[in-house]
Amino acid sequence: MQFPKGDVRRLLTVAHAIATMERPTLSSLSAETGHHKQSISDDVTKLRNQLGVVIEKEAAVYRLITWGPIINGAAVAQFLKTTRTE
């Protein structure tokens, strides 16, 4: 499901995809989320700078190291599951 530009659920969708996908590259994240590649890059920057999510990139593959001090990863998964079924 896609959310409107500026909707925080877009950020959460990208973070959740990075956390759960086997090999989250820009291309696979774009296919999974339906977001443009540049949007994903911008969202990763926002997740890092605004929410304290620690995301590393090795070669082309992203890896979520920690959700940071604000976000609870399990709660995000449940929230997105609930949001998608509404």
Give the CATH number for residue 45. 1.10.10.10
In terms of residue numbers, what domain contains 24? Answer: 8-85
For residue range 33-79, list pLDDT tens digits in order. 999 999 999 999 999 999 999 999 999 999 999 999 999 999 999 99
Report if residue 22 sits inside a domain.
yes
Residue 86 has pLDDT above 60, yes or no: no
Report if residue 74 sits inside a domain.
yes
Report if residue 2 sits inside a domain.
no
Q: List C-alpha distances in Å: 51 to 59, 78, 79.
A: 24, 19, 17
Report if residue 59 sits inside a domain.
yes
Report if residue 1 sits inside a domain.
no
Tally of domains within the chain: 1
Report if residue 28 sits inside a domain.
yes
Report if residue 3 sits inside a domain.
no
For residue range 16-35, list pLDDT tens digits in order. 999 999 999 999 999 999 99
